[in-house]
Amino acid sequence: MIKIYLGLMICLIVTGCQQEPQPHFPSEINIHDYNGYVEFGTPIQTKGEGIQVNGNTVTIHTGGTYALTGESMDGQVIIDAGDQPVELVFAGLELTCQNNSPILIRSAQAVTLTTKEDTQNKLKDTKNYLLNDIGATAVIYSQCDLTLKGKGLLEIEGRYQNGIETKGNMTIESGRYIIDAVYNGCVSFNQMVLQKADYTIQSDDTAIKGKTIFVQDGTFLLESKKTAMAAEWMDITQGMWTVESQENGFIAEELLTIRDGTYLFDSKKRCMEANDLAIYQGAFTLNSEEIGISVKDHFAVYGGTLRIDNSQTGLLAHSLDVNDGTLNIMSTVDGLHIIEKNEQAGNLLIQNGNIIIDAGSIGFNIEGTMKMQGGTVYLNGPTHSQSQALVCSQAYEMNGGIFCSLDMSGPTQLPIPESQQAGLLITLGKSFATGTSIMIKDNNDHNIFEYTSLKAFQTMMISTVKLSLGDTYLIYINNQLYGEITLYTAYSPIRY
């Protein structure tokens, strides 16, 4: 009887053990690589020290590396590890939290979120947040420094406010990210570093927001109802950018520096705005219903190709230095507007580079001074006589380069006599259409100037170092000799 009883007890114990759910691990996850493992499901399966499960919430109390997988329509991971570092590896995780942040980081020395190679992961919250003591407002919410990396995909759907938010620093090293947020996409209250990753961010407010943002590389598709990227200081080394905004593209309260990259902007108000802006290299194509680039103080161009294909005002700044590169601006009003600031005159300095303006109103509208020392400038328009291609409120100098201004009535002010370079100011007997070729030859039949107009014109001002006082020049319009001019004085009006 004792043997029968013991046998029955053993059978019951074995049967009970078999009925208990056993954690199973995907074949691609080696559990020996991690300090712990969490699989969301019914019920939640865990392995490792420092993991606590309370209902649908998993809390990690101990530093280390933890693998997360599985699916839950109402689950949450809380990290509360004090001063210990924690890494979460997403390995096929789909997690929605109905009333809070799916990933809530209360405390840790720093947290790293890694997407495992060839995995798809999705995090989502809802608009129904409960009050919490740390004020979490994002799908991934962190109180400490946060790093994201990996070789997988992370999708984030923020229905409450933000996609990713940290009170510390944020670094994104690698991976692919698709973020759709009703407020901000990525937010850092301190420094944000974006490295070579693939970013697709849609937001109802600002796609990327930080105190200081450093972009080292990456592929970016930013769509926002307000601003694509905003910070106090912004430094962009390179990257491939597509920016669509119902208001603004890049907004820097202080300094915006762009060193290289490819940029395609489409915005309702401003494509780029900063207190100070410096462009060293890069290829830019900007479309704006208002202002292409707005700089409150100083704008320096050292290289690159900048095209503003559509705007009311192409470029607005207090001070502009063009040291190299190409600026090609099309506008319905002013092409380039240099403004006064605090009753101080604006300034335009052209030392090198190429500027082409196609303006509906004023090509260069300068509330201050201009000095040209090199490069090439071609101003086209307007096609009416109410304004001119060049309007300068104070004295300006021509000391080098090639300058050509085409409109219907000529400039209101001529260069100062101290200018080192002479020029021709010619009013033709009739107006000529868009696409008219202009050629100037000297008496030796050497071609010293040639250009094809982008707009209709009747008046032209041409300045080049190849013009000399006392010499005679031949004017050709559409390859036909139009007239002969002897340059006795610089910029003396000549009428036909």
pLDDT at 492: 84
pLDDT in tens, 332-369: 999 999 999 999 999 999 999 999 999 999 999 999 99
pLDDT at 134: 84
Whether residue 234 is predicted with pLDDT greater than 50 in this model: the reply is yes
Rounded to an integer, the average pLDDT of 89-97 is 98
pLDDT at 98: 96
Top pLDDT among 132 and 408 is at 408
Whether residue 130 is predicted with pLDDT greater than 90 in this model: the reply is no
pLDDT in tens, 272-308: 999 999 999 999 999 999 999 999 999 999 999 999 9
**Long-range contact pairs involving 70-74 (C-beta distance under 8 Å, separation at least 24):** 70/38, 70/39, 70/40, 70/41, 70/44, 70/45, 70/94, 71/40, 71/41, 71/95, 72/40, 72/41, 72/44, 72/96, 73/98, 74/98
Query: What dihedral angle (degrees, nearest 10) is formed by the CA atoms of 51, 52, 57, 63?
Result: -30
* Whether 340 contacts 394, CB under 8 Å: no
pLDDT category at 25 given cuts 50, 70, 90 is: low
The mean-pLDDT minimum among 7-21, 92-106, 214-228, 418-432 falls in: 7-21
Q: Which of 463, 465, 466, 471 is nearest to 487 (CA)?
A: 471
Whether residue 4 is predicted with pLDDT greater than 50 in this model: the reply is no
φ/ψ of residue 15, rounded to 5: -65, -40
Share of the chain above pLDDT 90, in %: 87
Top pLDDT among 270 and 410 is at 270
Share of the chain above pLDDT 70, in %: 94
Rounded to an integer, the average pLDDT of 2-25 is 45
**pTM score of the predicted model:** 0.91
pLDDT in tens, 155-184: 999 999 999 999 999 999 999 999 999 999
Top pLDDT among 49 and 139 is at 139
Rounded to an integer, the average pLDDT of 183-211 is 98
User: CA 211: distance to chain centroid?
Assistant: 15
pLDDT at 49: 87
Which structure tokens are listed for 275? Answer: 């207190």
pLDDT at 14: 42
